Amino acid sequence: MRALVVDDSAATRAILQRALGERGFEVMAAASGRDALLRMRQHDLDLVLIAWSLAGMTGFELLRAIRRQSRYDRTKLVMVTAASRPEEMVHALAAGADECIPKPFTPDVVYAALRHVGVPVAHAESIVCA
């Protein structure tokens, strides 16, 4: 499976890339919404993990831009957010996110969320991402 991690934090991108890579995903990364849209045009993706806060284009705006294109109807979109207000997560789900993952998270939380939306993730012992 191909995944794209979109986050302006290099550390968060690295953690998510490692966690997904260790479960057999082919993982790409983008630091902005514009970069994410470019990569999506160039590659068929099964999964996109989107940070809520991005420079230039918010994660919510990116989510809406992706969902407006029928080409991505089957692509799973997961918001990764430090937002603690439940209404923000509800807002993202209503706009087309398949799931929301709150920060801070562990790889096991990510895997569980992906399984919940039907993304096959192999079970294994917990992976610690420092």
**Per-residue pLDDT tens over the stretch 96-129:** 999 999 888 999 999 999 999 999 998 765 445 5
Distance CA 85, CA 31 (A): 24
**Confidence class of residue 84 from pLDDT cuts 50, 70 and 90?**
low
What pTM was computed for the model? 0.90
CA 104 distance to own-chain centroid: 14
Domains of the chain: 2-116 (3.40.50.2300)
CB 20 within 8 A of CB 3: yes
**Per-residue pLDDT tens over the stretch 28-65:** 999 999 999 999 999 999 999 999 889 889 999 999 99
User: How many separate helices (H) and strands (E) can be counted in the chain?
Assistant: 5, 5
